[in-house]
Structure 1
Amino acid sequence: MFYKIYKEHYKALIYLGLPIVIGQIGVIVLGFADTLMIGHHSTIELGAASFVNNVFNLVIIFSTGFSYGLTPIVGGLYGTHQFAPAGQALRCSLLANLLIAVLLTICMCVLYFNLENLGQPEELIPLIRPYYLVLLASLIFVMLFNGFKQFTDGITDTQTAMWILLGGNVLNIIGNYILIYGKLGFPELGLLGAGISTLFSRIMMVVIFVLVFLRSRRFLRYKIGFYRLGWSRTIFGRLNGLGWPIALQMGMETASFSLSAIMIGWLGTIALASHQVMLAISQFTFMMYYGMGAAVAVRVSNFKGQNDMLNVRRSAYAGFHVMMVLGFVLSLIVFLCRNHLGNWFTDSPEVAAMVTSLIFPFLVYQFGDGLQITFANALRGISDVKPMMFIAFVAYFLISLPVGYFCGFMMNWGIVGVWMAFPFGLTSAGFMLWLRFRQKTRTLAANSSYL
């Protein structure tokens, strides 16, 4: 009976989520390739990459969160067959994303001029600066890509973004190999080469997405709204009303990792390099969860547009079931490979040993990560996003970061202590998001029945 209730939801979520997951596997492979190539080029470059990537992960996740505001809007319009307004929403989203990219670029420029004040090892600063600037130049292209991706996801076309992501990541890996090591007559640029390759691949992904949207017949009914309906202050207001809370929620979650990287930098280059390796491994699970979570948001928003609260709830819980199965399988793979992971990424025995010590806290937080991603996306699907900001603030700033500092430095557990904070933050966030979703959907269902 239980399986029959959720069977159709499992199928639909896997159908929607699998292309997103496959696209994220490409991102995972790229992260692995980046870390492998840089790590084998030099440990000091791996440490510099760790710092810069953590800082930019915060910005990129924040900006991605803002772009998520488009998904419930387009998903609701698609669920009620309003195709031209969905195209209009894409146009408004691209403008909003562009403005956010400019704002974030200014903020990151301010940080650039204060890098020496963040307590990082002095030998890393000459490597950090050029890599930082190249990634900063790519930020605007990340935001434009996100606008197109959230649109196609919202209309249940998750395969287009998948293929573009995979192609871009293959291009990036090839560029890494050529520019990091100086192949095919190019100079050996090391870490800077990895940054240039990332910039080029992000530009090309946006170019391809624009060409696909403009030339493909399947987007014709959306292009009518994109070209003819003009700007909408209402849609633009909704994008900001949804996007900012989601961005702040995701930004605070990522900040707990990025600020932890700054604390880990106080422990030295070896600890920072180990943190970078472990983050590459953690992306292996997070990006999988992300794919299924995006499918949950799309399904929930479609049913919300139809005012079908029963299937809103069932879609979310079916997503959580799939997420837990996925989490168990992925955690088992990481556990079985625990004694070899560090050696894949670096030639340093100190870094490899430290990576192995971080496997336990990594495994512990998988349940909480799957829980919070599922119900954060479910809340996005029903456009109930403002409470997520306060939940994130409590979970990541009042729980996770203080626990990390206490365990890492006051208890003298070092990097393992800092990582032990993540299970506390992610699990507490997951439970609070689940409670909010349960309460909100019950209220919506009661109001719907009353009406």
Structure 2
Amino acid sequence: MQQTMTHKEKIIQLLHIFLPVFITQVGQYAMNFADVTMSGHASSSDLAGVAIGSSLWVPIFTGMSGILLALTPIVAQHFGAKRYEQIPHVVIQTMYLAIVISLAIIAGGAAALNPILNHMNLEAEVQQVAYDYLIALSFGIIPLFLYYVLRCFIDALGQTKITMFITLTALPINILFNYLLIYGKFGFPKLGGVGSGYATTITYWYSFFIAVIIVRRFQRFDRFNLFERFYRISFATWKKLLKIGLPIGFAIFFETSIFAAVTLLMSEFHTTTIAAHQSAMNFASFLYMIPLSISTALTIAVGFEVGANRYQDAKQYSFIGIGMAVSTAIVTSLLLYFFRGDIAKIYTNEQDVLFLTEQFLLYAIFFQFSDAVAAPIQGALRGYKDVNATFWAAFVSYWCIGLPFGYTLANFTSFGAFGYWIGLIAGLASGAIFLFFRLLYVQRRYKHVHHNENG
């Protein structure tokens, strides 16, 4: 990261941060895709077990890792203010916190996993695969969360190409060990879908070790002297991290869990409708990686400028990011409209499912514009360390507006299953509007502070 003077320089710098983040997101998506599809070639029970295990793990990981995202704006602001000596302390404290979170997840899983799976009334073979898959995954939870901390640190400095490199080198390792352990090749045990859990754990350990080597050996990290001295646990620092991180984590959890809730509520409809919903939602989630990556880039850029007390620059980055997201939303919406039939064919060849998937994809167009406004604003607000508004926006817009409205339309009107999508669209739109005015308020507040400081 460096200071920029013109709009053109800001656009170029934001793109330099955004593109590696986006490629990293796609790489992580590809890992999950490889786990599910390669398990499916072992057997349908392996596919179902891995899918169930993954659906239980992902909301927990995204929510709990969201707490650690507090590190990104903190480091970005220290970096912008040239407070380099404060960065290693907060990074190490976040790593301590990550270990505690990991151990809490492992302990919670040990106590709750069997009761949860028993409650789901799964076939015995599917339940066993899901259980063994999650047990295999648990051996990688600690390195995963430690890596996530180092990724936040690296990204906050604007070095997003490094995390892109780690992800792109981890992907073939994940696929290789999937191949060896799922199918039992070259003398390795044939573990079926459970093998993808161990392959993922190996990938987590690889990512963590590579990240440690990079921050210790690369010259661009020399000034931070990470891991060169021992820091005692600082509960005061943990409190600051949790004050920012908990609202972020809960906001992400509310966002991811609402889609899981809708999927569960959709179970009352025909299998064809559920399959079409899942297919369209999967592709919409893939497109969401674009505004999500812009959001991450804005947290870094805005945090850097706020730390340097360049509030006008932070404001310019915010609106450049929103403009980039809206521009891409126009393109993806046209893609969805004109090629929805071809997109549907990626997922199915059944005519009934194809037709319904195309209809759901039309509704997904409206997701594009709400996400294009809401996600970048969330990232910008995190750069300002303003996170409570995002938390309340996620809770109210999804759970108090979107879900009740969608349930009403789905069950008491002719919209049927499409009603849930209309509810989600209404929730997303209301959240985006609220966050937009919140951003304007925060920017005016910082402008006022800057005026008083220089007045």
TM > 0.5 between the two? yes
Q: Which residue of 386, 392, 395 maps to 2:394?
A: 392
1:415, distance to aligned residue in structure 2 (A): 4.7
Rounded to whole Å, the distance in 2 between the matches of 1:122 and 1:353 is 31
Q: Residues 300-333 of structure 1, C-alpha deviation per residue, up to 9 Å, x if partnerless?
A: 1111112222111111111011112222333444
Q: Residues 246-299 of structure 1, C-alpha deviation per residue, up to 9 Å, x if partnerless?
A: 111111111111222333345576666555544442332222222221110011
Query: What residue is the counterpart of 1:133 in the other structure?
Result: 135
1:428, distance to aligned residue in structure 2 (A): 1.8
Counting matched residue pairs gives 448
Rounded to whole Å, the distance in 1 between the matches of 2:413 and 2:118 is 25
Q: Using the TM superposition, name which of 108-117 and 379-388 deviates more.
A: 108-117
Q: Which residue of 437, 444, 447 maps to 2:446?
A: 444
**Alpha-carbon spacing, 1:131–1:405, altered in 2? closer, same or farther (3 Å):** farther
Tell me if structure 1 keeps the 8 A contact 2:70–2:244.
Answer: yes
Query: What residue is the counterpart of 1:302 in the other structure?
Result: 304
Query: What residue is the counterpart of 1:314 in the other structure?
Result: 316
1:225, distance to aligned residue in structure 2 (A): 7.7
Query: What residue is the counterpart of 2:162 in the other structure?
Result: 160
Tell me if structure 2 keeps the 8 A contact 1:375–1:437.
Answer: yes
- 2:56 is the counterpart of 1:27: no
Rounded to whole Å, the distance in 1 between the matches of 2:270 and 2:111 is 25
Q: Gaps spanning 5+ residues in structure 2: where?
A: none
Q: Which residue of 402, 427, 430 maps to 2:429?
A: 427
**Alpha-carbon spacing, 1:104–1:335, altered in 2? closer, same or farther (3 Å):** farther
**Alpha-carbon spacing, 1:329–1:45, altered in 2? closer, same or farther (3 Å):** farther
1:195, distance to aligned residue in structure 2 (A): 2.4
Tell me if structure 2 keeps the 8 A contact 1:72–1:298.
Answer: yes
Query: What residue is the counterpart of 1:293 in the other structure?
Result: 295
Question: Greater relative contact order: 1 or 2 (C-alpha under 8 angstroms, separation 6 or more)?
Answer: 1
Query: What residue is the counterpart of 2:331 in the other structure?
Result: 329
Query: What residue is the counterpart of 1:235 in the other structure?
Result: 237
Q: Using the TM superposition, name which of 341-350 and 392-401 deviates more.
A: 341-350
1:221, distance to aligned residue in structure 2 (A): 1.5
Rounded to whole Å, the distance in 2 between the matches of 1:57 and 1:263 is 19
1:92-111 equivalences under 5 Å are 92-111=93-112
Query: What residue is the counterpart of 1:115 in the other structure?
Result: 116
Q: Which residue of 206, 210, 213 maps to 2:212?
A: 210
1:127, distance to aligned residue in structure 2 (A): 3.9
**Alpha-carbon spacing, 1:102–1:229, altered in 2? closer, same or farther (3 Å):** closer
**Alpha-carbon spacing, 1:225–1:181, altered in 2? closer, same or farther (3 Å):** closer
Rounded to whole Å, the distance in 1 between the matches of 2:337 and 2:45 is 27
Q: Which amino acid aligns with 1:98?
A: I
Q: Using the TM superposition, name which of 216-225 and 38-47 deviates more.
A: 38-47
Tell me if structure 2 keeps the 8 A contact 1:120–1:262.
Answer: no
Tell me if structure 1 keeps the 8 A contact 2:276–2:357.
Answer: yes
1:188-267 equivalences under 5 Å are 188-223=190-225, 227=229, 231-265=233-267, 267=269
Q: Which residue of 362, 371, 394 maps to 1:360?
A: 362
**Alpha-carbon spacing, 1:52–1:366, altered in 2? closer, same or farther (3 Å):** farther
Q: Which amino acid aligns with 1:288?
A: I
Tell me if structure 2 keeps the 8 A contact 1:85–1:225.
Answer: no
Q: Which residue of 406, 409, 434 maps to 2:408?
A: 406
Rounded to whole Å, the distance in 1 between the matches of 2:130 and 2:356 is 23
Q: Gaps spanning 5+ residues in structure 1: where?
A: none
Rounded to whole Å, the distance in 1 between the matches of 2:23 and 2:59 is 23
**Alpha-carbon spacing, 1:294–1:192, altered in 2? closer, same or farther (3 Å):** same
TM-score by length of 1: 0.88
1:31, distance to aligned residue in structure 2 (A): 3.6
